[in-house]
Amino acid sequence: MPNSKPPRIEAVEAQRPGTVPNLFADLPSRSTDEVVTGLLSAPGLRIERIVSTGQASPPGFWYDQDRPEWVMVVAGAAVLRFDDEAAPQRMVAGDYLLIAAHRRHRVEWTDPAVATIWLAVHFDPSVTPP
Amino acid sequence: MPNSKPPRIEAVEAQRPGTVPNLFADLPSRSTDEVVTGLLSAPGLRIERIVSTGQASPPGFWYDQDRPEWVMVVAGAAVLRFDDEAAPQRMVAGDYLLIAAHRRHRVEWTDPAVATIWLAVHFDPSVTPP
């Protein structure tokens, strides 16, 4: 459906002039849950910081997401498992991968000793340039 | 225009089963130019690694991009200048910001002593979810 309104692009953490937000700032202290912070929100795109401090997916739980996700471990370490692969995938700082929509996966482990910081880019595969 | 073909999503560096690409791998040696490597290409979205080793934008040159760009310095240090701001912006590892389309900017400086690694997410502001 045509839409004449300008698209909404939102830097979720407001950028004051002269300041730059930092991925390593305001890290949550050890938490029961992973902490997700939106960094950018735009039509068909969302960039998030996810901070894990030892959490893993609950036993038997699999993520099955409608949208593809490009994810990078920026700090820390994690073990990711895909339902369609025999061996789990250990990830360290700088490791990145694309998780296709509906590719079932789970986080088996994150390092309990440090904050594992993920950068996650969720995007809509069905958007097409005009 | 309707398009029945599935969208093309490409992890630009092929992912062999059991291996994960790493942002810090295969860093170019000191180069005359910045080195840009595509990490993900999808409709309306492109994720790149940019490695600078002391380069700056040529005198008088301003980037004036059709698409917004979300950029993070992952390693190293840089100074970014916006045409509409008096003071340049120093950026260190973890610093990120959104550069709106057609917001004129230039790279004043990157650290000549180390590789400055940028993660750049170029996206199309006019895409809208179906």
Beta-carbon separation of A96 and B23 below 8 A:
yes
Please list, residue by residue across B7-41, b when 16 or more beta carbons sit within 10 angstroms of its beta carbon and e when fewer do: eebebebeeeeeebbbbeeeeeeeeeebbebebbe
CA B52 to chain A, closest CA, distance in angstroms equals 17
Share of chain A above pLDDT 70, in %: 82
pLDDT category, B30, cuts 50, 70, 90? confident
Chain A: give the shortest CA distance to residue B68, in Å. Answer: 9
Region B65-77: mean pLDDT is 97
**Entry pTM:** 0.87
Give pLDDT tens digits for A79-119.
Answer: 999 999 999 999 999 999 999 999 999 999 999 999 999 99
How far apart are the C-alpha atoms of A64 and B68, rounded to whole Å?
Answer: 29
| pLDDT at residue number B41 | 93
Contact A96 B15 (CB under 8 A): no
pLDDT grade for B130, boundaries at 50, 70 and 90: very low
Mark yes or no for CB contact A128/B25 under 8 Å. no
ipTM (interface pTM): 0.86
User: Smallest Cβ distance to B121: which of A24, A47, A95?
Assistant: A47
Position B12 scores a pLDDT of 58
Provide the token pair at A121.
């880019």
